[in-house]
């Protein structure tokens, strides 16, 4: 399937990291999502019910991320992927999460994962 919806540069604040300061202070994370879906019906009908409502996706991701506390960005990415795959119409998702300032002398560190409904 070649159809995709991209959600780019979603800037959120959350608790993520292993150091004491990271556990006490919310940090910025930048999330990019690619939702793999079939957009043919929506392209024909012009009906929101025939597509993945990216407003719904974004709201669910924001709610989860802002309330979460993880040690690893990898775990956060896995949970965001699960949210996306839990929505009707999303067969695969690519999740990229950047953590600005995670390492000295770098702009950010990022984790990128791809998951599908068929993953065990």
Q: Give residues with Cβ within 8 angstroms of 43, minimum separation 6.
A: none
How many other C-beta atoms lie within 10 A of the C-beta of residue 52?
21
75 included as an active-site residue: no
Distance in angstroms (rounded) separating the CA atoms of residues 61 and 83? 7
97: which 2 tokens?
Answer: 């999460």
Catalytic one among 8, 59, 75, 99?
Answer: 99
Burial of 90 (0-12, 13-18, 19+ CB in 10 A): buried
Residues noted as catalytic? 99
């Amino acid at each position: 399937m070649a159809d995709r919806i991209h959600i780019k540069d979603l800037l959120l604040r959350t608790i993520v990291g292993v150091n004491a300061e990271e556990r006490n202070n919310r940090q910025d994370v930048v999330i990019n999502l690619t939702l793999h879906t079939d957009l043919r019906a929506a392209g024909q009908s012009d009906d929101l019910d025939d597509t993945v409502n990216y407003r719904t996706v974004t709201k669910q991701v924001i709610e989860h991320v802002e309330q979460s506390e993880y040690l690893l960005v990898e775990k956060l990415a896995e949970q965001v992927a699960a949210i996306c795959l839990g929505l009707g119409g999303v067969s695969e998702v690519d999740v990229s999460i950047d953590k600005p300032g995670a390492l000295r002398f770098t702009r950010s560190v990022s984790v990128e994962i791809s998951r599908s409904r068929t993953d065990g």
